[in-house]
Amino acid sequence: MKLVKRREYIIYVFLCFFCLLIFISPDVFSEELSTIEYQQLAAERLQEAALFYDRWQNGGGAENFQQAIIYTASAVEIRPDWDEPWLLLGMLYSEMKADQEAMELATEALINAVEANPANARAQMLLANVLLEQGRFYSAIEQYKSLFAKNENMINGLTITPLTIAYIADGRIEAGIIYLEEMAELYPENYSIGIGRAVLLKSSGKIVAARKVLNEILLDNEIMISLGSTYLSSTEKNYILDLLDSWEEE
């Protein structure tokens, strides 16, 4: 996927956005549009932005990315209390990973999305990932923990893996182990938590304990299979076996 990197590009986009605001600002229509019409206008802007973003992702030129930001920003201007435009704006800016200013804008947009709708799990998950990419490990951890507290369905390999990485990178492995042990008590059948615990235990030098956790997951899987149920997919089982093999070599 193409990445946009230059600060000049961000400035250009903002200039285009402010020119567009001359025509779509709520102040211009304050005496003409109803609340419903404002909502419809914002939805139309967001839909246009999504189309431009999709075109850019599928090989379209940089002008599609420019238009995606412009239309998303106008939707935000019209309905700043709506989380979806903020989410898309955060997604767009997070594409510019090499530009620190863009990543900060992504963080601000995603914070606004979560504040507008605390139940927006996609926004909070992306916010945590963006913070992690910026090296803001403590803040990323707090976002993941907040996400799990609000939605247990978000406790999976896609979130536990970066959480464990954040704990390791932040130098707080023991704190991570304690947290995941508490989570394991709450969700004993969630094997992703167990894998995360094992990785942290291994990182702290407790290889025997780490192997024990993974072997217990495999044993539970065999018990579930004997009962006619499912627990681990073949890919997940092979991942655990690979970890055990690599740790045996150490």
Mean pLDDT of the chain: 89
State if pTM tops 0.95. no
Residue 126 lies in a domain: no
Domain that holds residue 249: 137-250
Residue 199 falls inside a structural domain: yes
Are 141 and 113 in a shared domain?
A: no
Quote the CA–CA distance of 100 and 134 in Å, as a whole number.
8
Is residue 56 domain-shared with residue 141, that is, in the same domain?
A: no
In a domain, 123, yes or no: no
Shared-domain flag, residues 76 and 4: yes
Sorted by sequence, the CB contacts under 8 Å of residue 3 that are 6+ apart come out as: 95, 96, 97, 98
Total tally of structural domains belonging to the chain: 2
Using CA atoms, how far apart are residues 60 and 109, in angstroms rounded to an integer? 24
Which is more confident, 141 or 189? Answer: 141
In angstroms, the CA 201 to CA 213 distance is 9
Residues 80, 11 share a domain: yes
Is residue 35 pLDDT above 50, yes or no? yes
Q: Are residues 46 and 110 in the same domain?
A: yes
Percent above pLDDT 90 for the chain: 76
pLDDT tens readout for residues 83-139: 999 999 999 999 999 999 999 999 999 999 999 999 999 999 999 999 999 999 999
Let me know whether 103 and 203 are in one domain. no
Residues 111 and 190 placed together within one structural domain of the fold: no
- The secondary structure element, H or E, covering residue 72 is helix 62-78
For residue 122, being part of any structural domain is answered with no
What local confidence, expressed as pLDDT, does residue 11 receive?
47
Supply 183's token pair: 């989570």
Q: Do both 142 and 109 map to the same domain?
A: no
Say which residues have a Cβ less than 8 Å from residue 20's Cβ, sequence separation at least 6. 70, 74
Instruction: For residues 238 and 50, give the distance between their C-alpha atoms in angstroms, rounded to a whole number.
Output: 37
- State the helix-helix crossing angle for 7-24 and 100-116, rounded to 10 degrees: 40
pLDDT, position 232: 84
Give residue 60's pLDDT.
84
**Residue 13: what pLDDT?**
55
Q: Give the residue among 92, 142, 87 at the shortest CA–CA distance from 115.
A: 87
CATH number at residue 15: 1.25.40.10
Torsion of CA 222, 228, 233, 237, to 10 degrees: 10
pLDDT at 31 over 60: no
113 and 198 fall within a common domain: no
Does residue 131 fall inside a structural domain?
no
Residue 42 domain-assigned (yes or no):
yes
